[in-house]
Amino acid sequence: MLTQQVLDSTIFYREIGTGTPIVFLHGNPTSSHLWRRIMPAVGDPGRRLAPDLIGMGDSGKPDIAYTFDDHARYLDAWFDALGLEGVVLVGHDWGGALAFDWAARHPGRVRGVAFTETIVKPMAWEEFPEGGRAVFRAIKTPGLGESMILDDNAFIEQELPGTVAGGLSPEDLDVYRRPYPTRESRLPLLRWARSMPLGGEPADVVARVESYDRWLAASAEVPKLLLTFAPGTMMSPEIVEWCAAHIAGLEISGHGPAGHHTPEDQPDAIAAAVAGWADRHGLRSAR
Radius of gyration over every alpha carbon of the chain, rounded to an integer in angstroms: 17
Distance (Å, whole) CA 75 – CA 228: 26
Domain count, the chain: 1
Task: Determine, yes or no, domain membership for 163.
Answer: yes
Q: Is 71 considered catalytic here?
A: no
Task: Determine, yes or no, domain membership for 97.
Answer: yes
Is 0.95 topped by the overall pTM?
yes
Catalytic residue among 255, 260, 261, 281, which?
Answer: 260
Task: Determine, yes or no, domain membership for 272.
Answer: yes
Catalytic residue among 52, 70, 101, 117, which?
Answer: 117
pLDDT at residue 35 in the model: 98
Q: Cβ of 75: how many Cβ atoms within 10 Å?
A: 22
Taking alpha carbons only, the member of 93, 23, 91 closest to residue 260 is 93
- Going residue by residue through the chain (287 aa), what tens digit of pLDDT does each one get? 899 999 999 999 999 999 999 999 999 999 999 999 999 999 999 999 999 999 999 999 999 999 999 999 999 999 999 999 999 999 999 999 999 999 999 999 999 999 999 999 999 998 888 888 999 999 999 999 999 999 999 999 999 999 999 999 999 999 999 999 999 999 999 999 999 999 999 999 999 999 999 999 999 999 999 999 988 789 999 999 999 999 999 999 999 999 999 999 999 999 999 999 999 999 998 76
Task: Determine, yes or no, domain membership for 227.
Answer: yes
| 189, 159 Cβ separation under 8 angstroms | no
| 272, 41 Cβ separation under 8 angstroms | yes
Q: Is 70 considered catalytic here?
A: no
Q: Domain limits at 69?
A: 2-280
Task: Determine, yes or no, domain membership for 287.
Answer: no
Task: Determine, yes or no, domain membership for 285.
Answer: no
Catalytic residue among 52, 58, 70, 93, which?
Answer: 93
Strand stretches in 33-131, DSSP E: 47-51, 87-93, 110-118
Distance (Å, whole) CA 8 – CA 73: 11
Q: Which value, to the nearest 10 degrees, does the dihedral of the CA atoms of residues 83, 85, 89, 93 take?
A: 40
Give me the CATH number covering residue 118.
Answer: 3.40.50.1820
The Cα angle at residue 248 between residues 242 and 251, in degrees rounded to 5: 80
Write the single-letter amino acid at 277: W
Distance (Å, whole) CA 101 – CA 199: 20
pLDDT at residue 247 in the model: 98
Task: Determine, yes or no, domain membership for 16.
Answer: yes
Task: Determine, yes or no, domain membership for 286.
Answer: no
Q: Is 117 considered catalytic here?
A: yes
CA distance readout (Å), 126 to 4, 193, 213, 230, 254: 41, 17, 20, 20, 24
Query: Positive or negative CA dihedral for 178, 179, 185, 186?
Result: negative
